Amino acid sequence: MVDWFANTLRSYPEIAIFLSLALGYYFGSFTYKGLGLGAVTATLIAAVIIGQLGITISPPLKATVFLMFLFAVGYGVGPQFVRGIAKDGVPQALFAAVVCVFCLAVPFLAAKIAGYDVGSAAGLYAGSQTISASMGLATDAINRIGLPPDETKRLLDAMPVAYAVTYIFGTVGSAIVLALLGPALLGIDLEAECKRYEEEHGGKKEAGGAGTAWHHYELRAYRVREGGMAVGLTAREAESRIVGERVFVERIQRDGRIMDATADTVIQAGDILAVAGRREVLVALVGKGAEEVEDRDLLAVPVEGVDVLVTNKKLDGKTLAELAVEPVARGVFLRKIVRGATATEIPILPNTKVHRGDILTIVGRTQDTSAAAKYIGVADRPSDIADVAFIGAAIAIGALVGAFVYKVGDIPLTLSTSGGALISGLVFGWLRSVHPTFGRIPSSTVWFMNSVGLNIFIAVVGISSGPGFVAGLQQLGFSLFLWGIVATTVPLVLAMYVGKYVFRFHPAILLGCCSGARTTTASLGMINDRAKSQIPGLGYTVTYAVGNTLLTVWGMVLVLLMT
């Protein structure tokens, strides 16, 4: 039975790939206090174990899925990357570039001191910085060195060994260094700093949350009594009586007839008003003597929550306080702001700035949200259809540009097809955010290309290098794990002090900036948990976009430095 299973996997290597994915995603889903192996590491371990059976996989498969993955990465971070470079994110983008230099220099020096070969050095870098994608560019670079096939294979086999040994601390250790040691090293009270940041920017903590019976925004009906304070006022005037809050008179029932209310509609005694606003504000109205009534017909209005991609140049850089007074904002409430490739949720504060490429989740009557969406940009309603022609053409264009080789003397310079696909994703992702009339890729498809594309690549790497894994681990041993600790910790410590004393970031977002520059999502989750706030996420998106690009490219640069 065992022989039959092994021979079947050797005859049909595609089964080995899917088995690696199944085991990797299953065991990678287990976490302890937010930390775990993750799908990539678990897939690699599973593939290496399966690879002990001596399975041969066709090389083009690995390159194909890796191009798909890199394009998806670039497509996702493109809007934030361009915005971060071009506008007010320049300090954060520059900080991320400095941190990326630390992340390259320390593993390089560690590999030199330890005497590791090029393959082990590339794996040490990829694992300690948890940037799996860099192994693809490092693989391309090693293949271009011109070494004998046996030597090239030995170096490529050493890479996933070093990656697997150093990745675990790269993930867990970065979270520990930033979230647990970071505040102590910097001498800050993270929770207090986040509260201070919110107070400085007019933020308020919200009760309740997803999955609870409490709703933030509601539509309730109130009868206007004879002599009431709203009698004779326009809807806008009545709404302005509730200072500091956004409430709207949406509909009116008058003499048995229901009509939509505009800002200039005059309220009369006996009217029944459908008022929209925050729950606690509407509840307070009852306490002030307003008579709430049950009126199903009046309240039976179509409402929706819709994600809107911001493309309007007029909104770029405006604060939420400025946008709230726009006529088109009447009757519309903002529930969420999502920014960046990792869909980082941005706190909703009066001084929070909106940028093109952000996704705003707005709620309200369908007619109001439709009008607002048209003004803001493009409503991103759910769809299962991807523009596959665009995906294929964009990857092909990027790969063709990357395949071009320019020689300086005897030194060939090239982006490689992998680097070309990444840059193509950046460019077309940004174009899509500015002109979302083409190139639609649903978020589920981007996730598939990103996650599954990378993990198929990792599975092929693990299966192909499986036979040499045990021997390589015995050769490099525990010292590699220790060097991985150094390569993970030192850049993060340097980043924290540079962010505090050179760039002078606010303490509330500093650790988020460090987390983004090192593209370590696990640490951001722990930082937010320690801070009891989402404020650190404000420093994550621009730095992540820059860091994710540079750290990936560094895989190729490290090989050049080592050789």
- Residue 557 CA to residue 559 CA, distance in Å, equals 5
pLDDT tens by residue, 81-116: 665 555 547 898 899 999 999 999 999 999 999 999
pLDDT tens by residue, 121-151: 999 999 899 888 888 889 988 988 888 989 9
Both structure tokens of 172: 């867990």
The pLDDT of residue 411 is above 80: no
Both structure tokens of 519: 């593209």
Average pLDDT over residues 513-534: 82
Say how many Å lie between the first and final Cα of the chain, rounded. Answer: 47
Both structure tokens of 401: 């540009």
pLDDT of the residue at 559: 92
Kind of pairing between the strands at 291-293 and 217-223: antiparallel
Average pLDDT over residues 317-325: 91
pLDDT tens by residue, 464-512: 866 756 655 676 777 888 999 999 999 999 999 999 999 999 898 899 8
Both structure tokens of 186: 């910097």
pLDDT tens by residue, 9-48: 989 999 999 999 999 999 988 877 666 677 777 888 888 8
Strand partners, 444: none
More confident residue, 211 or 236: 236
- Could you give the angle at the alpha carbon of 552 between the alpha carbons of 512 and 50, nearest 5°? 105
- Residue 426 CA to residue 284 CA, distance in Å, equals 49
Which ranges in the chain are annotated with CATH 3.30.70.1450? 226-289
Query: What confidence category does residue 60 fall into, taking pLDDT thresholds of 50, 70 and 90?
Result: confident
For domain 226-289, say whether CATH 3.30.70.1450 is its number.
yes
Average pLDDT over residues 199-221: 61
Helix, strand and coil percent figures for the chain, each rounded to 5:
60, 10, 25
pLDDT of the residue at 94: 92
Buried b (16+ CB within 10 A) or exposed e, 413-446: ebbbbbbbbbbbbbbbbbbbbeeeeebebeeebb
Q: Across the chain, what does the average pLDDT equal? A: 84
More confident residue, 345 or 311: 311
The pLDDT of residue 388 is above 90: yes
pLDDT of the residue at 496: 96
Residues in the chain: 563
The pLDDT of residue 205 is above 50: no
pLDDT of the residue at 522: 67
